[in-house]
């Protein structure tokens, strides 16, 4: 590194230290192929906007409790080295940095993050079920649909589809939990099937006393053969246990019998623990919370109403909210009015207000819009799982804002004596159930608007107070920079495109797509440059053209390349595969090596990487185009190695 570059990087390092909150706020430093990663003692002390404007920085965001600053391939190596030297701190491996970040979080934060990770995995299914449920509710109230055979049939199929997804939600949670905690996902599916098998009495029917429950006696303990429908807490707990058992037996069972014995032991022990320990404990925990909330509404007046509607949506997280149906029906039988329905309804719409608050704070992020808009629509029909698990619980402060909004709505329900004459629907469809006495319809609308507005307002206030505007891991690019930001550590401003056009061929076989479809915001938003991607069908990466190897990551999952025409390229295998620390990768080239089109660059064990839970989609990015160069892509299709993908031209 020459003196001029080192001086420039030292200035960058000095600015980063200042904007990150000072030397004492930096707990760890590492880098991957393109990003400088910092673990800070307090993320709120970091000036995100200021960091975006630092020389050579292309973007900045917070993800995985790390501050990630995008510099580009090659350049990030030198910046990280100079930064580490300037503050007298050793650069860490990414594994050590992740451990450092986890230690910085308190147990509650770690638990919430793990819970968020579990539900993000299954969010598409929950969103689909929520919107189908809302559509089914609307169609069910239209006379034309009920009187037309075809429309009625379609409505019934929609209703069956939505109910099936929610009915098997514990299975989905068990699958996602096992995957999140390092076990084989199929073992989560197995234990989920056991939880919901029709050999067990349906949990809802058992709660209402409409089905006979068989009791076994094991070691002197009575074990009721009741299914775990709605048992989200149980699914989470048994998913963690199953993952740990799977890892344990895979390690301890001799390899010669591992395939047969390890899954057998994992399933058998998990099932025993499910019925003897985890199931009873999880049910007791969720049931206890529910009973306390109902008692408060009956005995603590306005305070009880506010607390119930303030935290009722936390019960949805456990899955035990379904038991309220039995309580509501009993209320109708005894009093003719159901005060729980409007309380739950304002709690729901308040979480929708929190979603809108989060959306407003992150309007520039496309992924936030993609998640928040359908989540809010489902809230209007009384379904909050997408909003809770996809947004509010994930980012924490919207959940708090929603709970405050629910409490305000609950107070209005109490003071206006609002109640329902039925149960089963809430929010927009729920207005049909409102007791019209004492201006019931008007009070219903007022309570919901107040709850929504309060949830919205407090989410905005909490967002500003805790500095979480960037928590969605959105990436803002810095415009107007003409400095080189990628390529080799010693790259210089790109030369004119004398060697154009240059053809790029398929670097592996598989499904070819545009870079914007890659499930990584840095790549998809083209922060590092335009590119293409392939979802590979083989575990080999080949040179897409005649070029030179300029950088090989220590973690072996990414390489920086330079074409004959002076264009800088980055090939990056998988999403977040940097966390594997080189496991399952073998690099076949060295820095400085000249390659011909079709030469093998690296190999990887695709099956093992996917088994570990990583997306193997491989990206090729034009990180440093020569002057006047642009990427012209071929149509998306299935390709074989060597097929034409794109042309770098003017």
pLDDT the model gives residue 404: 95
Q: Is the pLDDT of residue 438 over 50?
A: yes
Find how far residue 582's CA is from the centre of its chain: 24
| pLDDT band at residue 493 using 50, 70 and 90 as cut-offs | very low
What is the arithmetic mean of pLDDT over 97-124? 62
| pLDDT band at residue 488 using 50, 70 and 90 as cut-offs | very low
The pair of three-digit structure tokens given for residue 621, joined into one six-digit string: 């990015």
Q: Is the pLDDT of residue 320 over 60?
A: no
Integer Cα distance of 564 and 548 in angstroms:
8
Higher pLDDT, 117 or 95: 117
- Around Cβ 74, how many Cβ atoms within 10 Å? 25
Q: Is the pLDDT of residue 482 over 50?
A: no
E strands in 353-425: none
Integer Cα distance of 193 and 507 in angstroms:
40
Q: Is the pLDDT of residue 429 over 50?
A: yes
Q: Which of 101-105, 304-308, 329-333 has the highest mean pLDDT?
A: 304-308
The pair of three-digit structure tokens given for residue 196, joined into one six-digit string: 């919901």
What is the arithmetic mean of pLDDT over 109-114? 61
Q: Is the pLDDT of residue 126 over 80?
A: no
| pLDDT band at residue 93 using 50, 70 and 90 as cut-offs | low
| pLDDT band at residue 476 using 50, 70 and 90 as cut-offs | very low
| pLDDT band at residue 477 using 50, 70 and 90 as cut-offs | very low
What does the mean pLDDT of the chain come to?
81
| pLDDT band at residue 468 using 50, 70 and 90 as cut-offs | very low
The answer to whether the CB of 121 falls within 8 A of the CB of 405 is no
Q: Is there a catalytic annotation at residue 372?
A: no
- 16: nearest Cα among 5, 29, 3, 33: 29
E strands in 167-231: 215-218, 221-224
Q: Is the pLDDT of residue 528 over 60?
A: yes
What is the arithmetic mean of pLDDT over 492-500? 47
The answer to whether the CB of 587 falls within 8 A of the CB of 540 is no
- Report phi then psi at 134, rounded to 5: -60, -45
The pair of three-digit structure tokens given for residue 21, joined into one six-digit string: 């909150």
Q: Which of 134-148, 482-496, 557-571 has the lowest mean pLDDT?
A: 482-496
Order across the sheet with 585-587: list the strands. Answer: 540-542, 600-604, 585-587
Per-residue pLDDT tens over the stretch 282-304? 888 767 766 776 677 778 889 98
| pLDDT band at residue 473 using 50, 70 and 90 as cut-offs | very low
What is the arithmetic mean of pLDDT over 34-38? 82
- 622: nearest Cα among 577, 579, 584, 572: 572
* Catalytic pick among 32, 80, 172, 505: 32
The answer to whether the CB of 316 falls within 8 A of the CB of 384 is yes
* CA angle, residues 429, 435, 437, in degrees to nearest 5: 140
pTM: 0.49
pLDDT the model gives residue 485: 34
Find how far residue 105's CA is from the centre of its chain: 18
User: Given CA atoms 193, 195, 201, 206 in this order, what sign does their dihedral have?
Assistant: negative
Higher pLDDT, 312 or 455: 455
Higher pLDDT, 596 or 89: 596
Q: Which of 69-73, 102-106, 484-488, 521-525 has the lowest mean pLDDT?
A: 484-488
Per-residue pLDDT tens over the stretch 532-551? 999 999 999 999 999 998 88
Buried b (16+ CB within 10 A) or exposed e, 305-319: bbbbbbbbbbbbbbb
What is the arithmetic mean of pLDDT over 156-170? 82
Q: Is 557 exposed, middle or buried (0-12, 13-18, 19+ CB in 10 A)?
A: buried
SS3 label, residue 397: helix
pLDDT the model gives residue 382: 83
The answer to whether the CB of 531 falls within 8 A of the CB of 543 is no
Higher pLDDT, 187 or 113: 187
Q: Is the pLDDT of residue 561 over 60?
A: yes
Q: Taking the chain, what is the end-to-end CA distance rounded to the nearest angstrom?
A: 32
């Amino acid at each position: 590194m020459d003196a001029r570059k080192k001086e420039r990087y030292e200035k960058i390092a000095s600015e980063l230290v200042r904007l990150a909150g000072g030397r004492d706020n930096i707990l760890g430093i590492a880098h991957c192929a393109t990003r400088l990663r910092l673990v800070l003692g307090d993320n709120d002390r970091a000036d995100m906007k200021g960091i975006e404007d630092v020389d050579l920085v292309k973007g900045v965001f917070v993800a995985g409790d790390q501050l990630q600053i995008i510099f580009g391939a090659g350049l990030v190596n030198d910046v990280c080295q100079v930064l580490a030297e300037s503050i007298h701190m050793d650069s860490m491996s990414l594994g050590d940095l992740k451990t450092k970040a986890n230690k910085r979080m308190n147990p509650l934060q770690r638990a919430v993050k793990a819970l968020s990770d579990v539900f993000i995995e299954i969010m598409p299914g929950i969103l689909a079920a929520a919107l189908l449920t809302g559509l089914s509710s609307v169609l069910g109230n239209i006379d034309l649909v009920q009187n037309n055979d075809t429309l009625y049939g379609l409505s019934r199929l929609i209703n069956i589809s939505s109910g099936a997804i929610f009915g098997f939600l514990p299975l989905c949670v068990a699958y996602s939990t096992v995957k999140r905690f390092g076990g084989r996902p199929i073992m989560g599916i197995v234990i989920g099937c056991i939880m919901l098998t029709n050999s067990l009495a349906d949990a809802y029917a058992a709660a209402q006393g409409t089905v006979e429950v068989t009791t076994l006696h094991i070691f002197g303990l009575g074990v009721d053969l009741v299914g775990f429908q709605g048992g989200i807490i149980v699914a989470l707990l048994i998913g963690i246990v199953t993952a740990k058992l799977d890892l344990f037996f895979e390690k301890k069972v001799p390899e010669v019998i591992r395939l047969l014995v390890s899954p057998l032991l994992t399933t058998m022990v998990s099932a025993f623990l499910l019925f003897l320990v985890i199931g009873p404990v999880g049910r007791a925990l969720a049931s206890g919370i529910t009973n306390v909330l109902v008692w408060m509404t009956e005995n603590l007046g306005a305070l009880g109403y506010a607390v119930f509607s303030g935290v009722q949506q936390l019960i949805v997280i456990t899955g035990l909210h379904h038991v309220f149906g039995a309580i509501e029906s009993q209320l109708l039988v005894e009093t003719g009015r159901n005060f729980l329905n409007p309380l739950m309804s304002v709690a729901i719409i308040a979480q929708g207000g929190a979603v809108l608050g989060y959306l407003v704070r992150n309007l520039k992020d496309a992924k936030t819009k993609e998640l928040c808009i359908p989540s809010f629509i489902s809230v209007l029909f009384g379904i909050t799982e997408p909003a809770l698990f996809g947004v509010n619980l994930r980012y924490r402060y919207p959940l708090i804002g929603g709970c405050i909004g629910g409490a305000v709505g609950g107070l209005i329900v109490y003071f206006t004596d609002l109640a329902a004459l039925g149960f089963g629907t809430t929010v927009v469809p729920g207005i049909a159930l409102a007791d019209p006495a004492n201006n019931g319809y008007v009070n219903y609308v007022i309570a919901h608007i107040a709850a929504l507005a309060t949830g919205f307002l407090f989410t905005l206030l909490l967002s500003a107070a805790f500095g979480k505007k960037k928590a969605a891991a959105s990436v803002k690019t810095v415009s107007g920079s003409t400095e080189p930001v990628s390529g080799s550590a010693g790259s210089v401003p790109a030369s004119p495109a004398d060697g154009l056009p240059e053809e790029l061929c398929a670097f592996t076989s598989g499904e070819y797509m545009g870079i914007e479809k890659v499930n990584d915001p840095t790549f998809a938003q083209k922060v590092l440059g335009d590119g293409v991607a392939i979802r590979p069908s083989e575990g080999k990466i080949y040179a897409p053209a005649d070029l030179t190897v300029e950088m090989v990551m220590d973690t072996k999952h990414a390489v920086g390349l330079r074409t004959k025409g002076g264009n800088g390229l980055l090939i990056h295998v998988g999403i977040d595969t940097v966390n594997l620390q080189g496991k399952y990768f073998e690099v076949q080239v060295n820095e400085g090596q000249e390659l011909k089109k079709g030469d093998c660059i690296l190999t990887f064990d695709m099956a093992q990487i996917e088994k570990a839970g990583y997306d193997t989609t491989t990206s090729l990015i034009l990180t440093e185009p020569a002057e006047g160069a642009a990427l012209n892509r071929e149509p998306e299709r299935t390709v074989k190695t060597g097929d034409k993908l794109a042309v770098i031209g003017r």
